[in-house]
Amino acid sequence: MSAIEQTPTTTGVDGDKLMQFVFRAVDEVGSTLNAALVVMGDTLGLYRALAAHGPLSTGELAERTGTAERYVREWCNAQAAGGYVQYDPDSGHYRLEPEQAVAFTDRESPAYLPGFFQLALGSVIDSPEIIERARSGQGLGWHEHDHHVHEGCERFFRSGYNAHLVAEWLPSLDGVVEKLERGALVADVGCGHGASTILMAKAFPRSTFVGSDYHEGSIETARARAQEAGVADRAKFEVAPAAAYSGVSYDLVTMFDCLHDMGDPVGASRHVLSTLSADGTWMVVEPNAGDRTEDNFNPVGRAYYAFSTLLCTPASLSQDVGLALGAQAGEARIRDVVRTGGFTRFRRAAETPFNLVFEARP
């Protein structure tokens, strides 16, 4: 018998299955470390240089990016071992497949990935603090997270908004595009760095947009981004929580991937209702999730549950009420929040592999 089979704690354990699991865990550790390597490659311009000039040797890649060859060599080999970069043993050169080049360098593509990895890296960096909060049940506010969380979140979600918001999500709402084209008043609640607000402001120059977020640092960034985009005249930003943003008679209120992060989403729902015009619309964009736990046992659900453990649930628990819906709340729980807040109409209007889009009406 093997040593594994002889230990008391492994009675009845299949040694082959155990080793299969161990090697799966090895792969997981490599994946965890790879988040830092992707951020490294993005920050140092390694992917961009390979996409523009590859195939390249590690010396050529280091020269083009102003980096040390010895670091670049190890990075390239780690990327090649994981299938993120292609290696030619005959020439000793590295390159990106066209699809990999899009995923790592095309900021306008919905498949653009660096922000996703940056968000993951920031979440892992903050994990020791989350472990301590898990002992007490206390939360950790969004403003308390590492900068990689803020920056990565905006970069990841922005690519999806670029692809779907104006082209698909807004047209899925009853009569909303027509209002925006004529000139509507819009509140973008929980706007973060303002990516969604600015995108809508650029698409609908006759409308006025008010973005709000409780995080002052994010609002400062949003204001600067609006100025750079040339929409500061019609995209204003304020520091305010979701249940106390200013203004009334909004034609459209939007919340992108943030309702489940709120401590009191029902209270936010009531406030949205009080600020909408009689025929106004509330668009709620949430992570794609099924209503049953087991519906979310898939790669997307796994990633969202992980982010929810490290980011979303702690964020809600740090606030009053602390309902902690979680990133995988699902349609039924979102519907309950919206209807409890006083809305009478609720429907799923659109979806992508990563998001569900809901329309709520008074």
Q: From 301, 306, 309, 252, select the one nearest 275 (Cα to Cα).
A: 252
Token pair for 119: 């968000």
Domain boundary among 105, 134, 155: 105
Looking at the structure, do residues 356 and 246 belong to the same domain, yes or no?
yes
> Residue 27: pLDDT band by 50, 70, 90 thresholds?
confident
For the chain, the distance separating the N- and C-terminal CA atoms, rounded to the nearest angstrom, is 69
Task: Please say if the pLDDT value at position 15 is more than 90.
Answer: no
Residues paired with residue 208 on neighbouring β-strands, in sequence order: 185
Whether 128 is covered by a domain: the verdict is no
Phi, psi of 349 (to 5 degrees): -100, -30
Query: Percent of the chain scored above 90 by pLDDT?
Result: 88
Looking at the structure, do residues 344 and 273 belong to the same domain, yes or no?
yes
Instruction: Summarize pLDDT for 96-130 with one digit per residue, the tens.
Output: 999 999 999 999 888 999 999 999 999 999 999 99
Cis (ω within 30 of 0) for the bond into 55? yes
Q: Which CATH number is 289's domain given?
A: 3.40.50.150
Task: Please say if the pLDDT value at position 350 is more than 60.
Answer: yes
Looking at the structure, do residues 177 and 251 belong to the same domain, yes or no?
yes
Which phi-psi region, left, alpha or beta, contains residue 324 (left: φ > 0; alpha: ψ -120 to 50)?
Answer: left
DSSP assignment, residue 55? S
Looking at the structure, do residues 74 and 211 belong to the same domain, yes or no?
no
Whether 53 is covered by a domain: the verdict is yes
Strand runs labelled E in 227-324: 235-239, 250-256, 276-287
The CA–CA distances, whole Å, from 201 to 172, 204, 303, 338 equal 18, 5, 31, 26
Whether 61 is covered by a domain: the verdict is yes
Looking at the 3D structure of the chain, how many domains does it have?
2
Q: Is 118:146 a contact under the CB 8 Å cutoff?
A: no
Looking at the structure, do residues 78 and 207 belong to the same domain, yes or no?
no
Q: From 331, 326, 329, select the one nearest 357 (Cα to Cα).
A: 331
Phi, psi of 138 (to 5 degrees): -75, 160
> Residue 16: pLDDT band by 50, 70, 90 thresholds?
confident
Looking at the structure, do residues 341 and 202 belong to the same domain, yes or no?
yes
Where is pLDDT greater, at 334 or 13? 334
Looking at the structure, do residues 261 and 351 belong to the same domain, yes or no?
yes
Whether 229 is covered by a domain: the verdict is yes
Strand runs labelled E in 172-298: 185-189, 208-213, 235-239, 250-256, 276-287
Give me the domain span that covers residue 42: 3-105
> Residue 1: pLDDT band by 50, 70, 90 thresholds?
very low
Instruction: Summarize pLDDT for 203-260 with one digit per residue, the tens.
Output: 999 999 999 999 999 999 999 999 999 999 999 999 999 999 999 999 999 999 999 9
The CA–CA distances, whole Å, from 184 to 242, 249, 277, 323 equal 20, 10, 11, 32
Looking at the structure, do residues 253 and 342 belong to the same domain, yes or no?
yes
The pTM of this model reads 0.88
Whether 122 is covered by a domain: the verdict is no
pLDDT of residue 7: 54
Whether 132 is covered by a domain: the verdict is no
Looking at the structure, do residues 175 and 99 belong to the same domain, yes or no?
no
When the pLDDT of each residue in the chain is averaged and rounded to a whole number, the result is 94
Looking at the structure, do residues 88 and 211 belong to the same domain, yes or no?
no
* H or E element that contains 172: none
Across the range 134-159, mean pLDDT stands at 91
Task: Please say if the pLDDT value at position 2 is more than 60.
Answer: no
Whether 36 is covered by a domain: the verdict is yes
Looking at the structure, do residues 270 and 177 belong to the same domain, yes or no?
yes
Whether 153 is covered by a domain: the verdict is no
